[in-house]
Amino acid sequence: MTSTAPWTTQKPTAMLVLADGTVIEGRGIGATGKVQAEVVFNTALTGYQEILTDPSYLGQIVTFTFPHIGNVGANDEDIEDLTPAARHGAVGVIFKADITDPSNYRAAKHLDVWLKSRGIIGLAGIDTRALTAWIREHGAPNAVIAHDPQGVFDIEALKAEARAWSGLEGLDLAKVATSGQSSQWNEKPWVWNEEYAALNAADARYHVVCIDYGVKRNILRLFAGLDCRVTIVPATTSAEDILALKPDGIFLSNGPGDPAATGEYAVPVIQSLIKTDIPTFGICLGHQMLALAVGGKTEKMHQGHHGANHPVKDFTTGKVEIVSMNHGFAVDSKSLPEGIEETHISLFDNTNCGLRVTGKPVFSVQHHPEASPGPQDSHYLFRRFVNMLRERKGEPALAER
């Protein structure tokens, strides 16, 4: 399949070359150059800036199924990676339509300018519905995305590079996305007309240590909004060093790459932490890390789950939530040993979306309860975790919803 925008005869200035030799031509946007990555699609209608800065997308090119991206411009607040100078997030992006001029009171710059500043290579003017259908049928492909304003490409060389890339399986990207050193977080969630407020030291009732595999800012904000001061530590921090911080709770963050590869150093640490009975909560990659630590297995998904409209059932409440998803690996529910309860499943494909350790204050979910972007149906999970901290202090529980 070769695709060129049908309404123009202009020379293509960008192209996506898949490992099977498929060439998709279009107009270049964002940064110039080329990069090898996996191509996925995201079905969210809003929040493109948060999506592109989510560290879980490191090593991936995001195809947006929504046709109009860029209408609200870009700013310096709607980013999710903790260290924006390192630019952890998606490495490429694909749009159906050209980026329009921004029309929003919070816009600080044009999206194309922002993409250039982040080093994100982009392609516009293609049939994203056809590409999405291809991914659904064949799975998320390895590819090269390239942008040259002069339209000069060595297509055979690009095909060879796409074929040669090993892909995300076996790749530990948490060491790339993690913080280089420990730090503190106290910024609370965004409030209309008030922006971001800071958690006062006097209100910081609980201390949570976040093991950073590529954490999103809005996760940390929601902890701060529940009176938790957060200490962020690198992914390779030892259990001894974490316990020396005297945490009330431990958080296993989201992040990119193959959980089995990250698990080589993360799993022994998590196993040691579970034994302490300190309340522990994991999200996304953190969920997968916890599953590996208790004896489960993970597997690469056909196309992954990426969007803000995924239905998930919580067996602990019997309710169905619409949630944000962003993962290309999943926990094999059949591999979970005795003593591990499956708490959530995806209603799209019945894949595992949550677990808890029987008799211990330890649980995790595959989806992103912090949203950003997405619905807030699962915000209660943060209160569920904080209630574990409150119980240990002899304090009454918060209402989960």
Cα angle value 176/180/183 (rounded, 5°) = 130
Residues 6+ apart with CB under 8 A from 365: 282, 283, 287, 343, 344, 353, 354, 378, 381
8, burial (CB in 10 Å: exposed 0-12, middle 13-18, buried 19+): exposed
Residue 284 bears catalytic tag:
yes
DSSP assignments along 88-146, one per residue = -S-SEEE-SSPPPPP--TT--B-HHHHHHHHT-EEEESS-HHHHHHHHHHH-SPEEEEE
Distance separating alpha carbons of residues 67 and 44, to the nearest angstrom: 11
Residue 338 bears catalytic tag:
no
From 80, 284, 344, 367, the catalytic residue: 284
β partners of residue 216: 81
Its sign, for the CA torsion 331, 336, 340, 345, is positive
Residue 138 bears catalytic tag:
no
Of 290, 281, 262, the closest CA to residue 383 belongs to 281
Distance separating alpha carbons of residues 280 and 363, to the nearest angstrom: 6
Torsion angles phi and psi, residue 189, rounded to 5: -60, 155
Roughly what angle, to the nearest 10 degrees, separates helices 259-274 and 285-293?
60
From 38, 210, 370, 379, the catalytic residue: 370
Give the active site residues.
Answer: 284, 368, 370
